[in-house]
Structure 1
C-alpha cells in the first residue's frame, strides 16, 4: 500500500523521484520545494554528508520551468583554486598558459537553467567576491576578456559546513552568505527519517538489481528491522552502498538476510525507552498545575519550532489532532499570566 501511494506521488510530481520518503522530516523539505520550485530565488541546502543535497537540488530544478534544460553542477571543493575560476566563468584563448582555445564556463552553460554549487563553503575568498557580483548583477567576464556576458541562471548552493561559523571566522563573506541564503533548506539526516529507511532500502534494491540485470531480491523482516535501528552516520549514501554490498554478498539467494549487511555491531541506535522525565521537587513544594502546564507548553513550542510553525505537522509529531493542539496552546498561553503571579 505504501509503495503504491509513493508511485502515485511520483506520477503527480515527477521531481519526487529524487527524494524518496514519507517521514515528517522529508515532508518538510518537499513542502518547501513545492513552494519555491518555480521561483528564481537562490537556495542554500544545508546537511550532513550523504543526506542527498544534490538530489534536493535536482528536485528543485525538475520542479521548475527550467527543467527542459539539464542542471549544471560544480563541486567547489574538488578543483584547485587556479582552475576553479576558469571552470565557473570560462576563459579566452591565451588568457593563461595552457589556454589554447576559448572555453565557456559553467555559468554560461547554465544559461536559462540551474547551476548547482556544491560545497560552496570551500570557495576561496577571492572567488567569493566574484561570485557575489555575478549573483547581484547577473553578468561576468571570461578570464582574459573585457566582454561582459549576461546570464539568466538560478543558483542552488549546498554545504555540509557551518557557513555562519565560517563567516564568524572570516573564511566566508557575510554578504555572500546572505545572498545565497535566500531560501534555506535543511536536509535531515537518515537518523531523523526512521520510517524512510525501509522505503529507501527497497528502492536501492530495485535500482541495483536492475543495473546488474538480475531478479529483484526480497528482504527479510528481521533484516529490515536491523536496518531501521541502525544509526547511519553516512546517511542515505551509506545505506545505498550497504544495499549494493549486500546484493553482491548474497550470491544467487532471493532473500537478503542480516548477515548480508556487515554493519558494525556498536552502531545501532538504541531503542526508545519509556523513562520518566525528572522534575526537582523543592522542600517548599511547587504548583503542580503550573509546573505541568509549563512542561506541556514547552513540548508544544518545540514541536512548532521543528515544523516551522506548521500546526498540522506539529500535531502529527505529538500524535494529537490539530484542533486539540490549537486548543491546548491557546489554553496554556492564557494560563501563563497566572503562573507569573
Structure 2
C-alpha cells in the first residue's frame, strides 16, 4: 500500500521523517545490512535537483529487483546506507560523508540531500551498504543564481517505453558533454506490451497492467535494469517530471485514462494514483519536498543556472481537465472541440 504522511510520522524508525525517507543521517543508530545481501545496487545510482551548493543523491537497495512482491529481494529490516561525495573519482578528496536509512516503507530507497558543495563544478559520489559498494556516479552543481554563465549543455528525454525498443539512445547520451538531463515524463509505461521487443522474456509478475505499488515498482525496476539508462543517470544530474504513463494512459486530474477497468471508480483511482506517485518518488533523485501525500505530489518547481537558464518543471497532469473530443481524435460532432 502507498505510504501517507501520517503513516510516515507514526512509523518513526529513528524518530525522524528525514531518516525514514532516507534524506540524511539524523541518528547515531545504525542498521546493519544482511550478510546475504548480494548485489544491492542492481538499479544503479543517480543524482538530481542541482543547486549552486548541492544535489540530491539516489539509490535503491534491490538485490533481486524483479522479485514478485515488489520489495527487490529485501527483508523488512531497515539498512543504514553510507555515502561519500568527492572532488575526484579516486575519492582521495572526500568533501562530504553521511548516511541515510533505507526502509521497507519506501522500498529501501534513499534520497540524501547533499549541501555545502562549491558551485558550478563536478563531483563524484558512491554508496555503501554493509560490504557492498555501489558504482560511482558523477554529478554537477549549478552556477550561482544570476552569476555570469557562458554555457549550459543539456539533453531532454521522454517516452522511454521499454516494450517499444531498446535503450541505445542512452548509450549515446551518457557519452555526451552535458551538464544536465531533463526528463519530461513517461519514464515507465504502465502496460506490459511486447512491441519492438518481440521475443523478449516478460516475467509473469510483469504481465498485465500496473495498478498498485507492487506493479509500479516492478515497472521501474524493469526500466532501471537497463545498463544504458543506469549509465546516463550516473553521468549527469537529472531533473524529472511525469506525464501520463507513470500512472495511466491519458489520465487528467481526478479522471482516469481511457481504460474501462474497475480502477475508474474514484476511490480506487485515488489509491492507484497514490501507488504510482510513491513508486516514482522511490525511483527518482527527488527532494523531500516531492514526497507524495497520498494521491498528491508536488512536482512543479524551478531551478536556475546562473544568468543563462531557468528550468520550470511543470505538472501537466494533476491540475488539468480531461482531454476533449476523445483525446482530440473527434473532428466532427464534438461541441467541446
- TM-score, shorter chain, exceeding 0.5: no
Relative contact order: is structure 1 or structure 2 higher (C-alpha 8 Å, sep ≥ 6)? 2
Decide which structure has greater strand share: 2
TM-score range, shorter chain: under 0.3
Which of the pair has more CA radius of gyration? Answer: 1
